[in-house]
Amino acid sequence: MNVTKYDVESIIDASLGATPAPTMTQVESFVRKTLNYNFKMTLTEPFFIKSNAEILHAAGKQLCSVISYPLGSMNHKSKVLQVQTALKDGADELDIAMDISAFKSKHYEKVKEDLKPCVEMMEGRICKLLYFASLLTEDEQLCACEIALELGIPFLKTNPGYGYSTTLDQVKLVKKHYGDDLKIMVSGGVRTKEDAIAFIEAGVSRIATSASFEIVDSL
C-alpha cells in the first residue's frame, strides 16, 4: 500500500493530549500552529471550543471536541448540556465517551439511553463513540461496536490517550467483524509515521494524535 503524506495529514485529528493541563496561551499557540497543516480536525477540550473555533473557522479549518471525556462518567443531564454547549460554541464534530463503568456493569440499556439524545442533537454532524478499547475484553469491544451501530454512530474512537495506546489487534478485531460498516479513529499512542501507516494499512479512517506535527514533518 503506497501511503502518501497527504493520506496521513488529511486524516489527522491534531491533539494537544500530551500536555494534561495546558494554559490558554499554550492552547492558542497549538491551535495557531495547526493552521499551517492540512489536518482533518483540531481537537480541543470543551472549555476552549469558542476561542479555538474563532481562530480555526476564520482560516477555513474545523474543530472537534470531546464529551464526558475520558470515561463517560458524567451524569446524563450534564452530558446533554455539554453537547448543546459544544455545538453552540462552534464544535464541528464531537467524540462522545461511552459510560465505561455502566458498560462494564452490563447496563447496556442505560449506556444507550445515555447516549441516544446526545447523538440526536448532532443532527447529522459526525460524532464518534469513544469506547476505550484498552479497558475492554475482546468480547466487550465487539459489544461496544454493536451499541455504536444500534445508536447510528458508525464511527469509533479507540482510546482517549492519557497513556492508553491503541494496538493494531484492537483495530483489526473491529475491521474483521464489521469491515466498512464501522469507521475507526485510532487514538492513543500513535507517535511516528510508521505507526500511522500501519494503522492506515489496518483500515483506520482517522488518526487522533498528539504527535501530529512530528508525524507529518517526518513524511
Ligand X SMILES: O=C[C@H](O)COP(=O)(O)O
Residues that bind ligand X (CB under 6 A): 15, 17-18, 43, 160-161, 187-190, 208-210
Shortest gap between Cβ of 43 and ligand X (angstroms)? 5
Q: What angle do CA 57, 61, 62 make, to 5 degrees?
A: 85
Give the residue with the Cβ less far from ligand X, 52 or 209. Answer: 209
Shortest gap between Cβ of 185 and ligand X (angstroms)? 9
Secondary structure of residue 145 in the 3-state scheme = helix
Q: How far apart are CA 153 and CA 149, in angstroms?
A: 6
**Looking at beta carbons, which residue is closest to ligand X?**
17
Give the residue with the Cβ less far from ligand X, 43 or 171. Answer: 43
Give the residue with the Cβ less far from ligand X, 13 or 89. Answer: 13
Which residue reads 504527535 in cell numbers?
Answer: 211
- For 162, phi then psi, to 5°, come to 50, 35
Give the residue with the Cβ less far from ligand X, 108 or 219. Answer: 219
Shortest gap between Cβ of 134 and ligand X (angstroms)? 11
Secondary structure of residue 21 in the 3-state scheme = coil
Return the DSSP state at 163. Answer: T
Give the residue with the Cβ less far from ligand X, 108 or 164. Answer: 164
Give the residue with the Cβ less far from ligand X, 141 or 187. Answer: 187
Shortest gap between Cβ of 194 and ligand X (angstroms)? 15
Q: Closest by alpha carbon to 194, among 172, 163, 168, 160? A: 168
Question: What is the number of alpha carbons within 13 Å of residue 62 lying toward its C-beta?
Answer: 15
The CA-to-CA distance between both ends of the chain, in Å, stands at 15
Answer whether 12's CB lies under 8 Å from 210's CB.
Answer: no
Answer whether 50's CB lies under 8 Å from 90's CB.
Answer: yes
Shortest gap between Cβ of 58 and ligand X (angstroms)? 24
Shortest gap between Cβ of 209 and ligand X (angstroms)? 4
Tell me the three cell numbers of residue 62. Answer: 474545523
